[in-house]
């Protein structure tokens, strides 16, 4: 993990921009892929589809279902979330660590839905993985800015708990144009958080060994 020294905010921001260009490029690549898939109308061929996965062995849909959307409003909402997470938390992890966390979050969404939501026939959207990135980044940020990390983590976990008890916020469904699958948010958040805890544990063990 990267540590941020106690510097003025403007210097921290400038340093982060300079040192995290690869992470920004990764976010642009993921966002660009989502835009291309939407323009090419590939939601149905790439979405998480239970029947296609289980009966036709199209296992890639577990991942690609995260990268396609119901429509452009749904897409733009998720791209805004990806941009915000990148700007706030890119400095907390290395490029490889972000890739690992992102893949774990996406796999967690797909596998979680496959195992625990048998009534769900299909799913699209990046939001579940975004919650994993958000919690994972907050955990990694804890050693840099504890208050900020706790605030982000509390917001993320609190929103997921709210959704589990009361359901999705009405405005979210109005924007996306479909039903929000709140369990996808839960699976993504847990997977991303566990991924970063795993990375922190490995890092701690390596430091202890020398």
> 9-209 architecture in CATH?
Up-down Bundle (1.20)
Collapse the DSSP code of 190 into the 3-class scheme (helix H, G, I; strand E, B; otherwise coil) and give the result: helix
Within the chain, where are the H helices? 9-19, 21-39, 43-46, 50-56, 61-64, 72-89, 95-116, 127-141, 146-166, 170-176, 182-209
Structure tokens given for 41: 């109308």
State whether the Cα torsion 85-91-95-101 is positive or negative.
negative
Query: Would the pTM of this model clear 0.85, i.e. be above it?
Result: yes
Q: Which of 188, 30, 5 is CA-nearest to residue 113?
A: 188
pLDDT string in tens for the chain (210-residue length) = 555 444 555 665 565 566 689 999 999 999 999 999 999 999 999 999 999 999 999 999 999 999 999 999 999 999 999 999 999 999 999 999 999 999 999 999 999 999 999 999 999 999 999 999 999 999 999 999 999 999 999 999 999 999 999 999 888 888 888 899 999 999 999 999 999 999 999 999 999 887
């Amino acid at each position: 993990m990267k540590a941020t020294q106690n510097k003025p905010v403007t210097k921290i921001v400038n340093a982060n921009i300079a040192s995290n260009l690869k992470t920004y490029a990764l976010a642009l690549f993921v966002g660009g892929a989502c835009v291309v898939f939407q323009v090419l109308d590939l939601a149905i061929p790439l979405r998480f589809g239970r029947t296609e996965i289980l009966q036709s062995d199209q296992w890639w849909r577990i991942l690609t279902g995260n990268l396609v959307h119901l429509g452009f409003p749904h897409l733009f909402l998720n791209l805004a979330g990806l941009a915000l997470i990148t700007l706030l938390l890119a400095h907390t992890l290395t490029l490889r660590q972000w890739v690992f966390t992102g893949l774990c979050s996406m796999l967690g969404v797909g596998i979680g839905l496959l195992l625990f939501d048998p009534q769900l026939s299909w799913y699209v959207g990046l939001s579940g993985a975004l919650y994993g990135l958000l919690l994972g980044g907050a955990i990694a940020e804890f050693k840099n800015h504890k208050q900020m990390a706790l605030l982000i983590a509390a917001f993320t976990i609190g929103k997921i708990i709210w959704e589990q008890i009361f359901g999705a916020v009405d405005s979210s469904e109005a924007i996306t144009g479909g039903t929000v699958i709140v369990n996808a948010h839960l699976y993504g958040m847990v997977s991303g958080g566990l991924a970063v805890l795993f990375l922190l544990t490995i890092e701690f063990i390596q430091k202890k060994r020398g």
